[in-house]
Structure 1
């Protein structure tokens, strides 16, 4: 056996039991992300092993990597994300891919099925493989979308569905989405418009055409105009995706019986929400409904029908994930930044 054949034979078992992944061992900037080989997961009896084809770098990845936590929540989230060092070393909250193998108790999926999945706080999407419970948020991939497009609808669509499920939007309802050009904001604009709402999108002027193309009836350029200076009782629902619209600032804008859906909120706003709801007659909440498998299936169906559409800012390969983190850190991404694997 030649030296090269010996080296190949020696490396084969390692590569069969390991995979490439983006790893984070320290809190901090994008430079703390590195691509390395880590153990390949083995699916439990009720899990499917997904060969990841695409994932996204989201604001959730930024927050967990940089430990950029809303005020007051640092100690509360420490058991999940870590206090001094990350508890989760492979980020990535969403994936699109192909089922590689299934556990002995799995009945819903078979090898070769194309799927999307919302991984939640388990993370793990920035890797070549991830194990997902068959009862988790994992439907089949919309056949009309590529893997990159399918990954782009998951984080934003899942989050927007969670919060909009808290309200009943009738045709003609007035909805304001603050932070309308990010992954969640774009999905909220699409879903609200689909229900017949008139959507006002708060974003920068460079994103005006984008949000209008996705269903916004009106655009407020936050760099030139203070949307909170608007007329009293202008909106039935405000979807807060930017962290700049706390209840005291926007209370006058919301009609009686309306809602403030706080996708981003600090501890003070979260604790005050029930009291503010009782006092004002306005639903103030930082908690969305659970989506679950049925909701994820609904998301896939909406995508199949074209009612929720992927918006992709850029696509990078796994080796370019550090630059993807740097870009997400700017807060200027439009829709999703997609990482392609395999």
Structure 2
């Protein structure tokens, strides 16, 4: 089978498509024929071996063998199942998240049947389904489960035009909040179309100067910080970053001290959120935003585009066809 592999850390050119053996499912595994996957900022960092402390997991001098094929989000068809699997059957259309095992940038993927996997939303293409996995479930995890966004609250989404931010705008609105999106000038109309009540062009206005205006600041792109953002929070407000090692310190610090809080977490097991996202997609409540689509053979170009930091929504990789 074809798989995108990087043997060393570095720029997009280190990724090449090669032939590797098809994985064999174990007794409790499923083998998925991957039809679509994505390239995200997270994978761009992993490809570069960033952050440096992450090399404890990724590999110190070069990527660990099992992490040389990246790919977190997938959609496809179950090709085979192990003898102990009852949750899925061959022919099932699925979408899911590979987690720390990665491996989605390939024609076939082996996953535990208990992994973050669910039936593909009816009416969506495989490309749309793959693009609706991590961004949507991460936004739901933080906004609903970690901070409990509710009607009447004022929620700011920093990075509102990205893969997490586009879903965060829609989900915060769905939860009843008044939503303010922050993005660049080229994406203002997109963010408005997703339901934002107000959109801030960060080249013209600094949201951190909005003293005491927000109940929640959801930073989907790690372009701000708690020290900068805290003055924009209302008393009891919450700053919610999706990444950033230093936020562990701020979470502990604000737990001890009074005032606004930093809320952190990791959205890895998505079995509780994927079915919710599936229903919201099928009902038309959530919209999938796809910037560009590339075939697997051009995945290095996809990495180059994501590396620019200016993608809108999601960048999708087509891998195969259902037949």
1:283 and 1:305 map into 2 onto residues whose CA distance is: 34
Q: Match for residue 178 of structure 1?
A: 158
Contact 1:237-1:259 at 8 Å conserved across structures: yes
Q: 1:235 aligned to 2:217? A: no
The C-alpha deviation readout for 1:255-293, integer Å capped at 9, x for no partner, is 12221111122x333223211233133231231466532
Partner of 1:147: 126
Higher share in helix: 1
Larger radius of gyration: 1
RMSD over aligned Cα atoms: 1.3
Cα pair distance change 1:264/1:294, threshold 3 Å: closer
1:98 correspondence with 2:98: no
User: Would you say the 8 A contact 1:50–1:97 is kept in 2?
Assistant: yes
- Contact 2:209–2:231 under 8 Å retained in 1: no
Matched residue SS, 1:200: strand
Further displaced range: 268-277 or 242-251: 268-277
Report the 3-state secondary structure (helix = DSSP H, G, I; strand = E; otherwise coil) of the residue aligned with 2:285. coil
Residue-pair matches, total = 317
Indicate which of 18, 21, 38 corresponds to 1:39: 21
Note the C-alpha offset of 1:119.
Answer: 0.6
What CA distance in whole angstroms lies between the structure 2 residues aligned with 1:289 and 1:53?
Answer: 24
Aligned counterpart for 1:220 among listed residues 200, 206, 214:
200
Query: Is 2:106 aligned against 1:127?
Result: yes
Q: Secondary structure at the match of 1:280?
A: coil
**Equivalent pair of 2:169/2:196 in contact (CA under 8 Å):** yes
Q: Which residue of 1 aligns with 2:180?
A: 200
Q: Distance in 2 between matches of 1:111 and 1:92?
A: 22
CA distance in 2, matches of 1:91, 1:262: 23
Q: 2:35 aligns with which of 34, 53, 76?
A: 53
- Which residues of structure 2 form unaligned runs of 5+? none
CA gap of 1:290–1:65, structure 2 versus 1, over 3 A, is closer
Equivalent positions of 1:1-342 (< 5 A) are: 19-69=1-51, 74-75=52-53, 77-87=54-64, 88-164=67-143, 165-230=145-210, 232-265=211-244, 267-288=245-266, 291-342=269-320
Match of 1:12 in 2: none
Distance 1:62 1:236, change over 3 A: same
Asked if structure 2 preserves the Cα contact closer than 8 Å seen for 1:235 and 1:254, the reply is: yes
Where has structure 1 moved over 6 Å in runs of 4 or more? none
- 3-state SS in 2 of match to 1:233: coil
What secondary structure is seen at the aligned counterpart in 1 of 2:300?
helix
How many Å separate the matches in 2 of 1:254 and 1:242?
A: 18
Q: C-alpha separation between the residues in 2 aligned to 1:185 and 1:20?
A: 32
Q: What do residues 186-241 of structure 1 show as CA deviations (whole Å, max 9, x unaligned)?
A: 111111011111111110111011111112111111112111111x2200100012
Q: Structure 1: which 5+ runs fail to align? A: 1-18
- In structure 2, do the counterparts of structure 1 residues 67 and 318 end up closer, same or farther at CA, with 3 Å as the change threshold? same
* Aligned 8 A contact 1:96 1:148 in 2: yes
Q: Measure, in 1, the Cα distance between the counterparts of 2:200 and 2:269.
A: 30
Superposition TM-score, scaled by structure 1 size: 0.90
Alignment partner, residue 11 of structure 1? none
Name the SS for the 2:167 alignment partner: helix
